Amino acid sequence: MHLEWTGIVALSAAVAAAVILVVYLLRRPPLGLHVKLWLLLGLGVLPFITAASSTASGMHRTTERSFCGSCHVMGGHYRDASDPASQSLAARHSRNPFFGKESCYVCHADYGMFGYALTKLGGLRHVYKYYLGGYDHMTLEQAEREIHLVKPYDNRNCRQCHTTTAEDWRRVPDHVSLEAELGRNEVSCASAGCHGYAHPFTKSAPRDAAPAPAKTPVTSVGGHR
């Protein structure tokens, strides 16, 4: 178990508050000003610190790949992305230190000013679908066949790193000829005709229909534009 500093702050404040409250409940001193101030610390200040830091810790935790993989329907995605031998787009990006342990979030978070908040709101839909929408009863095979993205993957997420203005990018004739379609999301960077599916095992199409992924694994963001 790895704790972020926010988690350590949350636990420390929770323990300190609990000590104050338990001592009060056991001793039951008269409610004078001194006791009220201690209770303000134990019921107001320290719990507020716990709430704020545990929220920060929880929000950070939701960006980690292991968090996404903790739902069984994402087991295949998680294993493939974490597999050092896999050549899928997701696995190659996950090996990049820029994506690292947060590769699901980095690729799937909406780009833009409100991207973080919108992504978290979208995550609540995943929770609803999992616990109340029947996903938790699905087998992994069924989930991989039936669960799809709610909207087409936005190419802007790829273009956060793979800028379309770089000379290397423009040197590829297909990039230039499809620039307008890519901008309108009519053609996906992660499609069979281009860079291959991010999670190819979820596609029913035969694997040899997709172009072979790059032979050299991506080692840095700048190395594969």
Q: Where does this chain bind another protein (CB under 8 A)?
A: 1, 3, 7, 10-11, 14-15, 17-18, 21-22, 24-25, 28, 31, 36, 39-40, 42-44, 47, 50-51, 54-55, 57-58, 61-62, 67, 70-71, 127, 130-131
> Toward another protein, which CB reaches closer, 64 or 154?
64
Q: How many helices (H) and strands (E) does the chain have?
A: 13, 0
Identity of the residue, 58 or 211, whose beta carbon is nearer to another protein in the bound complex: 58
CA distance 72 to 140: 7
b (16+ CB within 10 A) / e for 52-63: ebbebbeeeeeb
CB of 192 to another protein, least distance (A): 32
Q: Would you say 33 or 212 has its CB closer to another protein?
A: 33
Nearest approach in angstroms of CB 25 to another protein is 5
CB of residue 171 to another protein, shortest distance in Å: 43
Complex with another protein: residue 47 or 76, whichever CB lies closer: 47
The pair of structure tokens assigned to 42 is: 């134990």
- For the chain, helix, strand, coil in percent to 5 are 60, 0, 40
Instruction: Give the nearest distance from C-beta 54 to another protein in angstroms.
Output: 4
| Cβ neighbours around 36 below 10 Å, total | 11
CB 99 within 8 A of CB 68: no
Place of tokens 């992504």: 119
Q: Which is nearer to another protein, 22 or 117 (CB)?
A: 22
- Residue 90 and residue 103 in contact, taking contact as beta carbons nearer than 8 Å: yes
Q: How far is the CB of 113 from another protein (least distance, A)?
A: 22
Q: Of 51 and 172, which has the nearer Cβ to another protein?
A: 51
Q: Provide the H-helix boundaries in 28-83.
A: 33-40, 46-61, 65-68, 75-82
Output the smallest distance, CB 73 to another protein, in A: 12
